[in-house]
Amino acid sequence: MSVMTEAGETIEIVIVDDEKFVRGALRTYLSQTKDLAVVGEGENGEDAIRLAKECRPDVMLIDLQMPVMDGVTAIRHIVAQNPEIGILVVTGHISDVHLKAALLAGAGGYVVKDAEPERIVAAVRDVHAGDCPIDPAVAHLLIEDLRGSRPATRAETSIELTGREEEVLKLLCDGRSNSEIAAELYLSESTVKYHLVRLGRKFSTRDRLQLVVTALRSGLVA
């Protein structure tokens, strides 16, 4: 779990991917960042479950298609046994089917392997902070799927939003992380979190994904 050093909190990470090259690349990205430390590696779903128990990391980076046991099955087991561990899917699959399966299993975020290293590092931090980063490469697929059914219209929705809340909500529905929303709107991350908490209360939702789904269905986000 997280350890305190002279430089501050260090987020401990386990990487699980059946490709040695990918594990090495991810380890290199993460090891260059002072607040992140790789404490274990595995190559299949069974390794992931074992390492979750042995290493008790803060965040696990898990691929979806692996031998012995796939990532979705492993995520489901880990979340049931160690719910405090954040799960970030790092995969080559740009598919709303894989995205929804991973999120339903309990993953806290989803990025593609060819994402910029900075995006992967930011996603690790976001998952550790309780956010739900979703790579824009796949977020639009989920949004299009949700838009396939007729949403309510603004006239049918009783929820009222401030101008700032609407801006935050639109960026959230575009798959932006808290840090990206903050940069776009020139706000602090704590202010973004404040608006998200208020939005969650207004929409009666428990998490970011549910907020996105409810917002799109409400007709308040085009």
Percent of the chain with pLDDT over 90: 44
Residues of the chain with pLDDT under 70: 1-8, 140, 142-157, 206-207, 209, 222
**pTM to 2 decimals?**
0.67
Q: What is the pLDDT of residue 41?
A: 96
Average pLDDT value over all residues in the chain: 84
Separation of first and last alpha carbons in the chain: 41
- d(Cα 210, Cα 215) in Å, to the nearest integer? 8
pLDDT digit string, tens, across residues 25-44: 999 989 888 899 999 999 99
- d(Cα 155, Cα 187) in Å, to the nearest integer? 30
CB 48 within 8 A of CB 22: no
